[in-house]
Structure 1
């Protein structure tokens, strides 16, 4: 948004997300008030002037200012940065800020139940925070703690996930809860056991949905490009694969061996926008990713934005036919073989009007050097099967991956920025390279591998990623040694 000499409060034509961030005051965390004395003093004066201008405008502000989620965010922001706003402030400004805080808290008393899931938790966290920070706030704190506990019990799954199945939303909720833990300690109070246990479950879940670079997967609509937000849960430099795990209730599976991490979506079609999609990293580098979704787009059933199998929606096949049925069950299993390899076997049972189910098996060998996948279509019992179906399996690559075609039509070389090389091979199938756009604040164009097939002639396609170079850590630092890994595909 370009101000062109205007006050930010006059930019009524700004995007909705920008307006919410403005009126929620989350930008206060970027004010350099802890720098040198001169910079800090100037930051305080300018920030307080804008806050005063905002309060003077009062009811004339744009509608975003009174949105329940924005009100909750504003309470949290003002309380978190109270030293910036109120330290050595004159009494009139101090009283005005406190009066506005009190009004916002009263608004949430009656409106928080009308908010969406994320907004309800944010509002209750804001009320608990206010109860901890304000004089005589014990009654507000206790009642809000009870409400927050009920909401977390309603929204969290037994394995620590969220009913939305959105990793991005999970992280946002957890980041709102983390400061509460420190605030209880600062006030010499014990955080309620139920809240502490919920945070532990959420933290464990989030940790398993991080790739080797420490960032969250983009499955379910996430578009995280930085690891700043997950820093509280372990610095990237120390992040290491934590083993393979299956979250059956939430619908996510993780394979980890050596430096390789694979995270897959195994959830039901009713909540999954990326049925059987996966992402993959080698060390601190992403290899297979998801294009993610723009904030203006729905995340429901948008498989073309993920690394998974999709049906051709052209010709006589409608979009509705090419999507999983909402009540179709998903089944997933995690198995460890005698040779140390781990297999994630998941099935999405049923597509509108097609009469077929999609099964994907992902097998990561013991040292993380080979990921083998098999995508299989099978007919559903008692359902009329469409005579001919065209489908495509997409593997969306990180923008840092350099792709080189090899001598045949079924394999390509993939080189990471570090020099580590992987080879992708598809058994008995031709592959193509196509462009796709990675969503985010600054969309980026990258390549995707696409392997196409036709039902019922090709009921299964086998493919694999094989590392050609591996890292060797020695006293001189990281180097690379070529590995003879021209393994043939096996059934």
Structure 2
């Protein structure tokens, strides 16, 4: 056992000894409670009453005294042991829901402290906050013994948070722990150490996590939402208890709320970058309103978070212009460097596939092919180690210029240097009306060009129609056209707009073959050399009148000597003569006339793909 682990266990054991004065110093009721401000799910509350629970799209059977199972994923254990499902029972609101909540809380508080899961302060903090914010629902009408045992457990578990914080984790979960400590401090003002510890930890934690522009250090819209939700709850608790708000907390709320609003599409949903999960727009509105009640402020830019938002007309374009999150903040990171999303009005058009807590999907959705960006099959742009942390961190540069009302975005990265690609460039142009989005994806190579694909994942509501070389995209109100100079095809895809995958489509573009283009150009040059300007255009042919045609029909054969038909006939006659001559050649000399055909050269593909999305009814 390491010294750090030994010290951690010793602090935890001392915390469980309880406060000075023992359990008698703990009141039977909280001095102040704050109602949970977020909506619950009544349908899930009904399932919990019946002995099961749904989280992350999976329904699991609950057993008495079983708070964890080996096959339960970490997100479910955190949600279940954090008692966040109490809001679902409260939303149901029946007497059976109240009795179920009271019974499950009594089961937890009735187990020996040595058997209680207390090593994760984030889960402990969520549990304390859930108990106190739903106290009026399940505990206010309970007997004195139940209420006293509950308050004693709150005091003991809050002491474990003091003993274990700060941890090495600096993400939104550490704020869950501090939220629980603050809730305990408000409910038990006699335990002055709780509030003092919270005030000592909150400022450095926020300084560590929140960048100067208001983005979270993880560069994830999901973390932005979760952190802001925790901070909004803290704000409500402090206001209810009339405790002055820490300066860092007030500043974080002011900076983070406009950024969360900037991460939204026209339909109110978040852009799906770096582990972002779908949330109801009404809930996002509520979080922003709780965090920043005054006005609808939208962040103008995210220079530290390195996300680019370009809006023209009712069109919104998002681009990821930053490197992977730094160590300690990469739990939600994805490999979609330089990826993009596009929406028009309330219709999302180009999206990323999203994220999932399901083990079978987690790794697939993190890789580049699950994003609207160029990818090289043999080389992922970001690699993870055995602990699921980022092992390689490519450099990324970005530049966003507004030319009048037009947007020009230039992105580049060395994420594919292992394949000999020195730089991957992506250029995006959005017109001032928002009706024209053009792009170029290019690879600069020091050696042979590797195989690559360009993908644009489409929102499930987009209907696709093929028309010659164009791809028509129908939204609920508009029609867009996609074109490229490569080989475009429509393939199946998935989109996590909820806990389970939804079938959708994607546009896959492969680079054009240069050999074919070169051959076509050479053929055109050859025809021009042979025929010169004697081939009239279709417009000229159609403009010839009938008398002129009759006059031409009386011309002599000499006048037709240089026409294409005559030249083709001469070439054909010459070929027959050569064939006859070769046939008369002795057999042993025939081999000298037929040289061995060279092996076909491998095709050469373009290193860039140019493409455009154009609104046809704009």
- Tell me which interval the TM-score lies in, with the shorter structure as reference length: 0.7 to 0.9
Q: Which has the larger radius of gyration?
A: 2
Partner SS, residue 248 of structure 1: coil
Q: Is residue 270–residue 326 contact of structure 1 (8 Å, CA) maintained in 2?
A: no
Find 1:292's aligned residue among 349, 354, 375: 354
Find 1:19's aligned residue among 65, 73, 77: 77
Q: CA deviation at 1:129?
A: 2.7
CA deviation vs aligned residue, 1:102-131 (integer Å, no higher than 9, x gap): 121111112232352222222122212322
Cα separation, 2, equivalents of 1:172 and 1:288: 25
Cα separation, 1, equivalents of 2:104 and 2:465: 53
Alignment of 1:279 with 2:341, yes or no, is yes
Cα separation, 2, equivalents of 1:301 and 1:11: 27
Assess, with a 3 A threshold, how the Cα gap between structure 1 residues 58 and 207 changes in structure 2: closer, same or farther.
farther
Cα separation, 2, equivalents of 1:245 and 1:348: 24
Find 2:451's aligned residue among 390, 396, 404: 390
Which structure has more relative contact order (CA 8 Å, sep 6+)? It is: 2
Q: CA deviation at 1:280?
A: 1.4
Cα separation, 2, equivalents of 1:359 and 1:72: 45
Alignment of 1:307 with 2:307, yes or no, is no
Q: CA deviation at 1:157?
A: 1.5
Q: Which residue of 1 aligns with 2:614?
A: 466
Q: Which residue of 2 aligns with 1:250?
A: 305
Q: Which residue of 1 aligns with 2:401?
A: 335
Q: Which residue of 1 aligns with 2:464?
A: 403
Q: Is residue 207–residue 248 contact of structure 2 (8 Å, CA) maintained in 1?
A: no
Q: Which residue of 1 aligns with 2:412?
A: 347
Assess, with a 3 A threshold, how the Cα gap between structure 1 residues 368 and 321 changes in structure 2: closer, same or farther.
closer
CA deviation vs aligned residue, 1:365-424 (integer Å, no higher than 9, x gap): 112112111212224xxxxx231211111101111111111112xx211111x2321111
Q: Which residue of 2 aligns with 1:28?
A: 86
Cα separation, 2, equivalents of 1:109 and 1:436: 47
Q: CA deviation at 1:270?
A: 6.1
Partner SS, residue 293 of structure 1: coil
Partner SS, residue 404 of structure 1: strand
TM-score, length-normalised on structure 1? 0.83
Assess, with a 3 A threshold, how the Cα gap between structure 1 residues 359 and 366 changes in structure 2: closer, same or farther.
same
1:183-222 superposed matches below 5 A: 183-222=237-276
Cα separation, 2, equivalents of 1:137 and 1:300: 46
Q: Which residue of 2 aligns with 1:89?
A: 142
Cα separation, 2, equivalents of 1:46 and 1:358: 56
Q: CA deviation at 1:309?
A: 0.6
Q: Is residue 252–residue 264 contact of structure 1 (8 Å, CA) maintained in 2?
A: yes
Assess, with a 3 A threshold, how the Cα gap between structure 1 residues 127 and 157 changes in structure 2: closer, same or farther.
same
Partner SS, residue 194 of structure 2: helix
Q: Which residue of 2 aligns with 1:432?
A: 489
Q: If each structure's strand is expressed as a fraction of its own residues, which one has the higher value?
A: 1
Structure 1 stretches of 4+ with a deviation exceeding 6 A read: 241-244, 320-325
Cα separation, 1, equivalents of 2:383 and 2:229: 37
Ranges in structure 2 where 5+ consecutive residues have no aligned partner = 1-51, 53-58, 290-295, 327-333, 385-389, 514-603
Alignment of 1:420 with 2:478, yes or no, is yes
User: Which stretch has the larger CA shift, 387-396 or 123-132?
Assistant: 123-132
Q: Is residue 440–residue 609 contact of structure 2 (8 Å, CA) maintained in 1?
A: yes
Assess, with a 3 A threshold, how the Cα gap between structure 1 residues 436 and 61 changes in structure 2: closer, same or farther.
farther
Q: Is residue 325–residue 350 contact of structure 1 (8 Å, CA) maintained in 2?
A: no
Cα separation, 1, equivalents of 2:305 and 2:299: 15
Q: Cα RMSD between the aligned structures?
A: 3.0
Q: CA deviation at 1:33?
A: 6.0
Q: CA deviation at 1:234?
A: 5.6
Aligned residues: 447
Assess, with a 3 A threshold, how the Cα gap between structure 1 residues 56 and 320 changes in structure 2: closer, same or farther.
same
1:358-369 superposed matches below 5 A: 358-369=424-435
Alignment of 1:122 with 2:181, yes or no, is no
Q: If each structure's helix is expressed as a fraction of its own residues, which one has the higher value?
A: 2
TM-score, length-normalised on structure 2? 0.67
Cα separation, 2, equivalents of 1:389 and 1:116: 39
Q: CA deviation at 1:190?
A: 2.6
Assess, with a 3 A threshold, how the Cα gap between structure 1 residues 399 and 172 changes in structure 2: closer, same or farther.
same
Cα separation, 2, equivalents of 1:5 and 1:121: 28
Partner SS, residue 26 of structure 1: coil
Q: Which residue of 1 aligns with 2:392?
A: 326
